[in-house]
Amino acid sequence: MQDIQQFANEIGLDLDLLACIQCGKCSGGCPVSITTALNIRFLVYESLLDALPELVHMEELWDCTCCFTCVERCPKDVRPAELIITLRNQLVESGKIPGTIGEALMGIFRQGNPLGLAREDRALWAEGLDVKPAREGCDTLLFTCCYSAYDVQSQPATKALVRILHAAGVDLGYLGTEETCCGNEVKRVGEKAMFDEMLVEEGKALLESVGARCIVTTSPHCYNTFKNEYGLEGIEVLHYTQVLARLLEEGQLKLSVPVEKTVTYHDPCFLGKQNKVFDEPRAVLRAIPGLNFVEMDRIRERSLCCEGGGGRMWFEGTNTEDRLAFQRVQEAVDTGAEVLAVACPFCLAMLADAAKVKGLEEQLKVMDISELVVQALGDGG
């Protein structure tokens, strides 16, 4: 046992594996255990059998989506997903990294985004929207995820959010081409040095330099890392659904145009399971006049993962035939919903693609919540 603990200390494994009682609640809840060979309970078990140094060679380490279901369910607070992130860190440090993940990291290093697109194009989505530069001074800083800024599928949601916040009278600013990837997935693929020494250090200084009272993020991933890992001082960090729910409650945002659609909602792991933001997205959807909100069976803590987190968006590997997103879009169709609402650019990409591949596009449209809210704005929206 001494050797395991020593090795764990050497690789910076900050968790008490010995507390594991092998109850299997982690692997029982792990969404990818049904589609891959990853077994998180075995992984913890093997690591207790002096096998920890060998585990860093396991290909399955890349199958984890960092959804944290295992962390949520573990009765002994072992935090098993962090074992995976730490083992990935060993892989990254020894240069054993899947090609597409390496490309995404290089894109962030060179251009500030995992798509490797030009930094000077980061603000093109905002053309014609009259959103002011944060440097002019603003109460609320809008932070757009790399996908919200560059991905043509996500851009309508980003634009809609700006229109909604303007309609509610929010004093909004944005960073434009100064904005850089938040690094939430960088940390989770194991690139700890890039996360700590480059993205957090520079990002924290940038975000604090604006002087905004609040940061609103388009993505639960940026929200998670800014709120829990950046150590931002004196700045409130909110996901946009929290901001919209608050604006609705305070009467600053008024929705008057009926949106006659049956809509269900998919909880993003980084918003729901990891940060317990379950109610606000639902409150926003329920506030849209004419909208018929229905729930799927697996919701909130039991929600299914879309498989876009933990660097999976950048991974081209196994598990293309039996994706969790396929199950999820079918679950949405089974409710009778015509719209599957999401609150995350990764969920939008994964689930919209799944609907397309499964031939469900005619029946089910995958839309960000802000795209529905913008339809309900009356004059001035």
Smallest distance, ligand SF4 to C-beta of residue 126, A: 34
3-state DSSP assignment of residue 189: coil
Tell me whether residue 70 or residue 182 sits nearer to ligand SF4 (CB atom).
70
Q: Does 21 bind ligand SF4 (CB under 6 A)?
A: yes
Q: Does 325 bind ligand SF4 (CB under 6 A)?
A: no
Tell me whether residue 77 or residue 362 sits nearer to ligand SF4 (CB atom).
77
Q: Does 81 bind ligand SF4 (CB under 6 A)?
A: yes
Q: Does 247 bind ligand SF4 (CB under 6 A)?
A: no
Q: Which of 378, 375, 379 is nearest to 367 (CA)?
A: 375
Q: Does 30 bind ligand SF4 (CB under 6 A)?
A: yes
What CA–CA distances, in Å, run from 98 to 37, 59, 172?
17, 9, 39
Q: Are 167 and 377 in contact (CB under 8 A)?
A: yes
Q: Does 324 bind ligand SF4 (CB under 6 A)?
A: no
Q: Are 272 and 305 in contact (CB under 8 A)?
A: no
- What is residue 255's DSSP assignment? B
Q: What whole-number distance in Å separates Cα of residue 311 and Cα of residue 63?
A: 9
Q: Does 88 bind ligand SF4 (CB under 6 A)?
A: no
Among 13, 70, 92, 237, binds ligand SF4 (CB under 6 A): 70
Among 8, 20, 134, 235, binds ligand SF4 (CB under 6 A): 20
What CA–CA distances, in Å, run from 89 to 13, 94, 192, 215, 237?
10, 9, 7, 29, 27
Q: Does 261 bind ligand SF4 (CB under 6 A)?
A: no
Tell me whether residue 97 or residue 263 sits nearer to ligand SF4 (CB atom).
97
Range in contact with ligand SF4 (rule: CB under 6 A) among 28-36, 238-246, 256-264, 358-366: 28-36
Range in contact with ligand SF4 (rule: CB under 6 A) among 19-27, 149-157, 241-249, 288-296: 19-27
DSSP, residue by residue, 6-50: HHHHHTT--S-GGG-----HHHHH-GGGGTSS--HHHHHHHIIII
Q: What whole-number distance in Å separates Cα of residue 191 and Cα of residue 307?
A: 19
Among 13, 44, 366, 369, binds ligand SF4 (CB under 6 A): 44
Strand partners, 51: none
Among 4, 52, 56, 74, binds ligand SF4 (CB under 6 A): 74
Q: Does 78 bind ligand SF4 (CB under 6 A)?
A: yes
Q: Which of 111, 102, 153, 42 is nearest to 311 (CA)?
A: 102
By the criterion CB under 6 A, which residues form the site for ligand SF4? 20-26, 29-32, 40-41, 44, 64-70, 73-76, 78, 80-81, 84
